[in-house]
Structure 1
């Protein structure tokens, strides 16, 4: 696979992995870096941007939820994410890279009408940190 196609596949998988859909963009990142070691920074940036945008799609879903009752039905047993988000504010979104709980935190941040710039910053920071650790281990 050429470099452009590899980066497009990485963007797509990282975006989808950050939504409520299951996915493992880490494997795609590893594959891209093994096939194209010279793409360290471009791959890291593409994965971070895709995953951040996917997290923001969950944030937008939260913004669209009408009330707490609707949110509790959607999240069920994961309501602790709402409490953590309310208690800690935008910095808790650094943990948005965590499986399952990260999606819940992003939805909760949107529902709480958290500042979208602060949310974007902490989501991106957490996503970048995770991908940087993985990419550095490969490189």
Structure 2
């Protein structure tokens, strides 16, 4: 039982951290656990929920960060923030569906918080995109393993 919890729990944590602004990937662990023949549904659920909740942390940090934008130590320059806001406004809410993309996905969820996107809209779009991504990754992996 403990081994099973460790498998799904470690995937959840890996996916959670991977969705924050820290550089980490959950895909390798997912593939290893698939190869070990753990429950496909539970792996999908652990990866999707961890990754979605990690993105929620980014949204919250983005929402709260503007209170310190006038401080000298604030890491985001006004021009960078303005540029990110312009890009987000151009592509709108639908861009959150692509929050699973490497490099741009994590900052996108942060900017959504800065832009004060309603949390329920954010959550639905991000969760849907990440769920489809992990389902596709699992489907492709199972297809390759079955060859």
TM category, shorter: 0.7 to 0.9
Over 3 Å counting, the alpha-carbon distance change for 1:74 and 1:136 in structure 2 is farther
Count of residue pairs brought into register by the alignment: 137
> Is 1:26 matched with 2:27?
yes
Hey, what's the Cα distance between the residues in 2 that align with 1:44 and 1:89?
A: 27
> What is residue 127 of structure 1 aligned with on the other side?
130
Shift of 1:91: 1.6
Over 3 Å counting, the alpha-carbon distance change for 1:5 and 1:79 in structure 2 is farther
Root-mean-square deviation over aligned CA pairs: 2.4
> What is residue 145 of structure 2 aligned with on the other side?
none
Hey, what's the Cα distance between the residues in 1 that align with 2:119 and 2:64?
A: 14
Hey, what's the Cα distance between the residues in 2 that align with 1:99 and 1:83?
A: 20
Shift of 1:73: 2.3
Gaps of 5+ in 2: 143-147
Shift of 1:36: 2.2
Over 3 Å counting, the alpha-carbon distance change for 1:138 and 1:113 in structure 2 is same
**Normalising to structure 1: TM-score of the pair?**
0.87
Shift of 1:81: 4.3
Secondary structure of the structure 2 residue equivalent to 1:2:
helix
Shift of 1:74: 8.6
Hey, what's the Cα distance between the residues in 2 that align with 1:105 and 1:9?
A: 25
Hey, what's the Cα distance between the residues in 1 that align with 2:136 and 2:63?
A: 31
**Normalising to structure 2: TM-score of the pair?**
0.82
Higher Cα Rg: structure 1 or 2?
Answer: 2
More helix by share: 1
